[in-house]
Amino acid sequence: MSIRGSVVGRLLLIDAAGSVAILGLWYLVFSTYNRKKGAAALRWVQTACVGKGRILESHWMGSSRLQARLHFPSGWFENARVTVKFLPRPLPLQWLLSCWHRQNETLTFEADLGGSPSFHLEVVRHRWCAHNRGASSRRRDDREWDIYEPGPIILTTRTHWKQDPTAELNALMSARRQDILQVRFRPESPQFSATVRLEALADRAAATEFVSALREIAAGASTHRQ
């Protein structure tokens, strides 16, 4: 019995050591993969900012989040930074959960404006919606669909709201092709932020247009103080 217990104990120890080694190798490989993607993302950002700004420094916040400080000319942005969020590939369980929830890799730009906005505003990119008119035949899967593109929906706590769209909303709607997911304005720092899918910046022209769209949106807010 003692010999059998010793063998079982050794096998368990070998299994545990093997599992730790596999997890360690997994973490090392996918951390390296994320860092390579991070380096590529910073190159996209630098390319997009050529002639407009530059990267001052960058650092990793864990194995799946990269942050970099940016410098822009006076009158553009202050205390600007980008945060790139990757899938948590080095952590198998979190990676599986992120894939299950279909999370995207994103880049968030944050900065302060020339003057502090006196309002809170959050704009989420609108989606398509549809409804079916029921089965058009006896086949249950044969349905007719009406597709609609809804206009902007504004949720506000203000008791008085101007009927004419604000400049920043117009700029955001004109920049929909940039695949901007979310834009925020607030009095506290960071006063302005915008989130975009990381893959949308892989193209050089798209990345450059994204920076121009950020400038257009922020300029609209700066000239439309509440």
**pLDDT confidence bin for 130, thresholds 50/70/90:** low
Helix extents (H) in the chain: 2-48, 92-100, 167-174, 204-222
Confidence of residue 154 (pLDDT cuts 50, 70, 90): low
* Nearest residue to 40 (alpha-carbon basis) of 96, 87, 84: 84
pLDDT of residue 134: 53
**Backbone angles phi and psi of 53, in degrees to 5:** -170, 180
Measure the N-to-C terminal CA separation of the chain; round to a whole number of Å.
81
Q: Residue 226 has what pLDDT?
A: 44
Share of the chain above pLDDT 70, in %: 65
Q: Which domain holds residue 25?
A: 2-222
At 162, list the tokens: 């101007």
Owner of token pair 């008119």: 133
The CB density around residue 83, as the number of other CB atoms within 10 Å, is 16
Average pLDDT taken over every residue of the chain:
76
Domains in the chain: how many in total? 1
